[in-house]
Amino acid sequence: MENLSTKREMDWLKVLFHLQLFISFLCSLHYLINEAYWTTTIYSIFIILLSVLGVTAGAHRLWAHKSYTANTKLKFFLALCQTLSGSGSIYDWVRWHRLHHKHFNTILDPYNPSKGFFFSHIKGNTLSLSPAQEKSLDEIDMSDVEEDKIVMFQKKYYIPLYFIVTLLLTLNAPAEYWSENIVSSIFVAGWFRYFVTLHLVWLINSATKIWGLLPGEKYPCDTNLVFILSKNYWLSYHYLAPWDYQTSEYSKYGTDCVSKFIRVCAALEYATDLKTVDCKTVQKALIHSLHENKSINEALLESEANSKIPVEHYLTPFKYQ
């Protein structure tokens, strides 16, 4: 690894895509405000929510971190929602996200947050991987995902699925069902929806630069921004215990919509084996890691395996205090 270059080249096709996305989003605001039916706007927001659910509950918490298991119906639904997002195949998303966790905040992290918000949110997505990152990406264990028939089907047919599910069906619906002008449909259900969705998806890797507290920073922060940005340590916790299904991508714990969605799925027996941990077990794990000279991640993982969380937490967030 030491001999391999860590230099990343700019991928100009990706840069052009980002520019196109941004300019088209600005144009879409005109159609959103002046031209489109309100049904098209509500429909676009609904598709955004489904897409984000597919990436957060599906690609992130289910497939990348195995924080719970899902039956075939739930997997199919989440894979369909993830396809709507147009953020690449589940397989590729999971591989890059595992690389991000494995080398978090280092030169091998494709979204390296230590380089600032702009790098982790935008620039990291426009650079090709360095030879050292490519090697590390090849070493990521994907055997669990490779056994998943739904993920592998989506990977194999991703390009036709992208054109049919992400673009054609989604853009055609407003024109087909409530006679929306096709240009308004392309800008609002197309570019506006795609811009908002992709930025919400990219935030999963860059949120730590917005909501994450730096070591030594106090809470609540001494800034007016506290009214819109509730900073906390939950994002740092996610990098210590990524398997905890209750850590939200956007800085909450247990009370966010995705955790509630997973709990409802568990109550309906669509999701099982929800992994989480209570505060006392975390305290014991921290002491254990000190005494046994183990990493905190390792000690937390062991504690989760040994802890007995009551099944009732499926419908009420398990107390972490």
Q: Quick one: 55 or 129, whose CB is closer to Zn ion?
A: 55
User: How far are the Cα atoms of 8, 199, 206 from residue 193, in angstroms, in the given order?
Assistant: 30, 10, 20
Site for Zn ion in 234-293 (CB under 5 A): 242
For residue 271, give every residue at least 6 positions away whose Cβ sits within 8 Å of its Cβ, in sequence order, or none. 68, 69, 70, 71, 74, 262, 265
Q: Which is nearer to Zn ion, 70 or 94 (CB)?
A: 94
Minimum gap (Å) between residue 94 Cβ and Zn ion: 10
What are 212's strand-pairing partners?
Answer: 232
Total residues at interface with Zn ion (CB under 5 A)? 1
Residue nearest Zn ion, CB atom distance? 242
For the bound state, the minimum distance from the C-beta of residue 202 to Zn ion, rounded and expressed in Å, comes to 13
Contact between residue 256 and residue 49 where contact means Cβ atoms under 8 Å apart:
no
Q: Which is nearer to Zn ion, 124 or 242 (CB)?
A: 242
Per-position DSSP letters for 254-281, written without gaps between them: S-SHHHHHHHHHHHTTSEE------HHH
* Cβ distance to Zn ion smaller for residue 113 or 242: 242
Nearer to Zn ion, 196 or 235 (CB): 235
Name which of 239, 252, 253, 262 is nearest 78 in CA terms. Answer: 262
* Closest separation in Å from C-beta 131 to Zn ion: 25
Work out how close the CB of 60 gets to Zn ion at its nearest, in angstroms, rounded to a whole number. 6
Q: Shortest gap between Cβ of 244 and Zn ion (angstroms)?
A: 10
Output the six-digit token pair for 1: 């690894």
Question: In angstroms, how far is the first alpha carbon of the chain from the final one?
Answer: 42
Of residues 205 through 244, those in contact with Zn ion by CB under 5 A are 242
Residues that bind Zn ion (CB under 5 A): 242
